């Protein structure tokens, strides 16, 4: 396993690999790796000759300073995990390497995809995500890049950037990996104690209930029923949204879109959790 900290050294190394006809996969992460990340990486390794995994906690995508400060940082453990699944190349840049001209987001056209849900509740979050992923794409120039459906809105925004900037990268979606009990795996779960993890199961439980029962409700009726389920729960519901899977526009009747997903964000104490599933 080769570890790079310098963007230019990584770029030179990958240039040589590309010349030798090797295909390059890319999996961006913020570390504190769990089985969700590892299965994303295994997916990428199957489809490419060489896979680059980045670990970088991107400051511009945190709208909340405390969230950035308490984000788990366990690079040594991450490297052991990456080694154990025979990873090829790890990129561990520091902030200066990724933001040589100062830590700020670029103004990129996100086609309004950032006006809903995470974009609404975390102002500036997606500008930060788009800026850093674009920079990674420029350094790594992957053939394929892999993103989890757990962050479905992010996945659509990356697809949009790839298309609008004509980057020609294949953006591959990977299904959400869950704990045995159904909680979507997330680095933020590390911040929950066992009891908090248990009560957080209301999130996947509610999504699963919605998947089975949505046709008995209108979309707004379903949202109300879900808000009610959370009324006396410990995780506090931040939003529930029912949206067209192609463009994230909220749907008001079931025949408005060919594919529809339901999204939830909730706080278990100070820890913010998000999850989503496809309804159809």
Q: Closer CB to ligand AMP, residue 147 or residue 214?
A: 147
Q: Closer CB to ligand AMP, residue 29 or residue 243?
A: 29
Tell which positions 17-56 bind ligand AMP, by CB under 6 A.
Answer: 29-30, 36-37, 40
Is 145 a binding residue for ligand AMP by CB under 6 A? The answer is no
Q: CA triplet 279, 272, 206: central angle to 5 degrees?
A: 30
Exactly one of 34, 37, 43, 259 is catalytic; name it: 37
Q: Which of 111, 176, 244, 278 touches ligand AMP (CB under 6 A)?
A: 176
Beta-strand (E) ranges in 196-245?
Answer: 236-244
Minimum CB distance to ligand AMP, residue 86 (Å): 19
Q: How far is CA 44 from the centre of its chain?
A: 15
The residues near 157 (Cβ < 8 Å, ≥ 6 apart) are: 110, 113, 114, 126, 129, 130
DSSP 178: B
Q: Which residue is nearest to ligand AMP (CB)?
A: 148
Minimum CB distance to ligand AMP, residue 123 (Å): 19
**CB contact at 8 A, 1 and 88:** yes
Is 177 a binding residue for ligand AMP by CB under 6 A? The answer is yes
DSSP lists the bridge partners of residue 235 as none
37 has catalytic annotation? yes
Is 150 a binding residue for ligand AMP by CB under 6 A? The answer is yes
Q: Is the dihedral of CA 45, 51, 53, 54 positive or negative?
A: negative
Tell which positions 179-208 bind ligand AMP, by CB under 6 A.
Answer: 184-187
Q: Closer CB to ligand AMP, residue 176 or residue 244?
A: 176
Could you give the CA distance from residue 171 to residue 269 in angstroms, rounded to a whole number?
34
Strands 2-4 and 271-278: unpaired
Could you give the CA distance from residue 169 to residue 151 in angstroms, rounded to a whole number?
19
Helix runs in 24-91, H state only: 35-47, 65-70, 75-84
Q: Closer CB to ligand AMP, residue 189 or residue 206?
A: 189
Minimum CB distance to ligand AMP, residue 82 (Å): 13
Count, residues near ligand AMP per rule CB under 6 A: 16
Q: Per CB under 6 A, which region of 9-17, 93-101, 142-150, 245-253 contacts ligand AMP?
A: 142-150
Q: Closer CB to ligand AMP, residue 251 or residue 273?
A: 273
Structure tokens at 44: 């990428």
Structure tokens at 140: 């790594």
Q: How far is CA 78 from CA 35, 55, 97, in A?
A: 11, 9, 20
Binding mask 91-120 for ligand AMP (x = CB under 6 A): ------------------------------
Catalytically active residues are 37
Contact residues for ligand AMP (CB under 6 A)?
29-30, 36-37, 40, 147-148, 150-151, 174, 176-177, 184-187
């Amino acid at each position: 396993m080769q570890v790079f900290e310098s963007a230019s050294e990584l770029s030179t190394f990958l240039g040589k690999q590309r010349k030798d006809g090797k295909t390059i996969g890319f999996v961006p992460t913020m570390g504190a790796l769990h089985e969700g990340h590892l299965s994303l990486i295994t997916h990428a390794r199957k489809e490419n000759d060489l896979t680059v995994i980045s670990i970088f906690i991107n400051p511009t995508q945190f709208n909340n300073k405390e969230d950035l400060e308490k984000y788990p940082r366990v690079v040594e453990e991450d490297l052991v995990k990456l080694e154990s699944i025979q990873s090829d190349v790890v990129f561990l840049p520091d902030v200066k390497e990724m933001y040589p001209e100062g830590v700020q987001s670029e103004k990129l056209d996100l086609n309004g995809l950032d006006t809903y849900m995470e974009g609404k509740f975390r102002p500036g979050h997606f500008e930060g995500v788009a800026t850093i992923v674009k920079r990674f794409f420029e350094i790594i120039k992957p053939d394929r890049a892999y993103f989890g459906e757990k962050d479905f809105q992010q996945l659509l925004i990356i697809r949009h950037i790839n298309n609008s900037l004509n980057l020609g990268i294949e953006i591959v979606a990977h299904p959400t990996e869950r704990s045995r009990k159904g909680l979507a795996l997330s680095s933020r779960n590390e911040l929950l104690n066992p009891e908090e993890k248990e009560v957080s199961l209301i999130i996947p439980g509610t999504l699963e209930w919605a998947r089975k029962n949505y046709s008995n409700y209108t979309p707004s009726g379903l949202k109300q029923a879900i808000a009610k389920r959370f009324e006396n729960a410990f995780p506090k519901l931040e939003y529930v949204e029912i949206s067209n899977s192609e463009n994230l526009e909220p749907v008001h009747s079931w025949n408005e879109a060919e594919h529809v997903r339901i999204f939830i964000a909730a706080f278990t104490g100070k820890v913010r959790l998000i999850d989503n599933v496809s309804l159809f």
